[in-house]
Structure 1
Amino acid sequence: MIRAWGLPMLLALSGVVVATTRIAAGSPGAAVVPLAAFLGLAGLYSPLVFPRSIGAAEAQRRSAADGRPVVYWRPACKYCLRLRIGLGRDARRAHWVDIWRDPAGAAAVRAATGGDETVPTVVLAGRPYVNPDARWVRGQLPPSS
């Protein structure tokens, strides 16, 4: 859990340090922009941006039942963030597995990628796709009901 929040906490703390330095220098107005930027980045790289993660076994079971892809991801991964933003609201129509929280998810990714934990890895109908384009993933999602 600490690993997932490490980068967001570091970004937030950096923003507070920069803002405090600017305020101490007598420029409180100049502190607002960097603080907002750092807090925004902390929010983007936090696990809060992603749909709620489930375990790999549950994701695989649900995917077999409803045909939705399983997306294996990890916090602070810029490629995972790019996929998540590219999917927009459609991201909720996939099953998301945080490989830092679920050892079975990490093992599934290593099996799919030849031993690496390369994410995002999308598994659709049992076939893995490493770092796929968000438009392609959106096209593979079943219609929303």
Structure 2
Amino acid sequence: MASANETAVEFYWRPGCGFSMMLRAHLERAGLPLHEVNIWEDETAAARVRAVADGNETVPTVFVGPAAMVNPDIDQVLAAVREHAPQLLDARTK
């Protein structure tokens, strides 16, 4: 079975975060499949974010393959997808 990392952009967010809402809208417009995780409802997810965000629960945090991005813009996410998960670009046309 494929992991979320192979089938979708992993998008970590929390309610009320305007930056998360803005990036989610850009990712949806780009047609990328998303696996969304609310860090306030998933302690393991919150710990994963802290591990890559200097101990902070900074969102949005995005994982694409081995790439972890804290508060990235859409161009950074698309570059990571092209490098680490180009199959996700193909998913946009299916």
TM class, shorter-length: 0.7 to 0.9
Give the strand-richer structure, 1 or 2.
2
Q: Which residue of 1 aligns with 2:3?
A: 61
* Residue equivalent to 1:142: 89
* Kept after mapping to 2: 8 A contact 1:86/1:135: no
Tell me the percent identity: 39
DSSP-derived class of the 1:75 partner: coil
CA distance in 2, matches of 1:84, 1:106: 18
| Aligned CA-pair RMSD | 2.1
Q: TM-score, normalised by structure 1?
A: 0.50
* Residue 78 of structure 1: aligned partner: 18
TM-fit CA distance, 1:101: 0.7
Name the structure 1 match of 2:70.
130
Structure with greater proportional helix content: 1
| Structure 1 contact 99–105 (Cα < 8 Å) conserved | yes
Q: C-alpha separation between the residues in 1 aligned to 2:25 and 2:3?
A: 25
Classify the secondary structure of the residue corresponding to 1:88: helix
Give structure 2 stretches of 5+ with no counterpart. 82-87
Structure 1 residue runs without a partner (length 5+):
1-59
TM-score with structure 2 setting the length: 0.74
AA at the equivalent of 2:59: V
Larger mean CA deviation between 131-140 and 102-111 belongs to: 131-140
Post-superposition CA distance 1:41-77 (Å, at most 9, x none) = xxxxxxxxxxxxxxxxxxx93214x3x3211111100
How many pairs align? 83
The correspondence of residues 91-110 of structure 1 with structure 2, limited to 5 A, is 93-110=33-50
Q: Which amino acid aligns with 2:24?
A: R
Larger Rg over CA atoms? 1
Runs of 4+ in 1 over 3 A off after TM superposition: none
